[in-house]
Amino acid sequence: MTNQSTIPALAAALAMALALAVAPAFASDAAPTEKDPVAQARAVKLSETLRCLVCQNQTIADSNAELAVDLRRQVRDQIAAGKSDDEIITYMTDRYGDFVLYRPPVRATTVLLWGGPALLLAIGAFVLMRIMRERRAAPEAPPLTAEERARADALLASTTKKDPA
């Protein structure tokens, strides 16, 4: 490898390292920038109860997706407008559905979400018990007759002579 071919590779590696080092500077915090610590605490608490609709396994407080940033801004704006936590949650669920809640309530529409894992576990246990019972109840194969055993021994002996490995 010559010096001329290593220079572009080093430049590319340096550019990549610089890009990765600067990326966290563009990330948004979940905490609002306003001066009121009570409003900040409310906004953070509400942000931790709302799901990021893009990431789906993160709260909007943990996510840096654009939609999460917008939802955090909406929460801060509604707090500044004097809305209660319940009013903000109601607004978000009216607009985005129960899925926006990180812990959705147990309702007729979410019963499968809450009971699904237990139902699947019960079905799996039932299927496993049925299989185990069928195996126990299955008759054993009858033992080989002398003629069948001699034939099997002859087949095994002939294959070991052909394939010594």
Give CA–CA dist 14/89, Å, rounded: 46
73 and 31 Cβ atoms separated by less than 8 Å: no
pLDDT at res. 23 = 53
Q: Consecutive sets of 10 residues in the chain, 165 residues long: mean pLDDT of each?
A: 63 66 52 71 92 87 91 93 93 90 83 88 96 87 90 88 60
pLDDT at res. 107 = 83
Calculate the CA dihedral of residues 106, 107, 110, 112 and round it to 10 degrees.
90
Per the DSSP assignment, residues forming a β-bridge with 59 are 51
Which one-letter DSSP state was computed for residue 59?
A: B
pLDDT at res. 112 = 82
pLDDT at res. 47 = 92
63 and 102 Cβ atoms separated by less than 8 Å: no
> Looking at beta carbons, which pairs linking 81-87 to residues 24 or more positions away fall under 8 Å?
85/42, 85/45, 85/46
Can you read off the two tokens belonging to residue 79? 């707090």
Coil vs helix vs strand at 47: helix
Query: Computed over its alpha carbons, how large is the radius of gyration of the chain?
Result: 32
Can you read off the two tokens belonging to residue 132? 């185990």
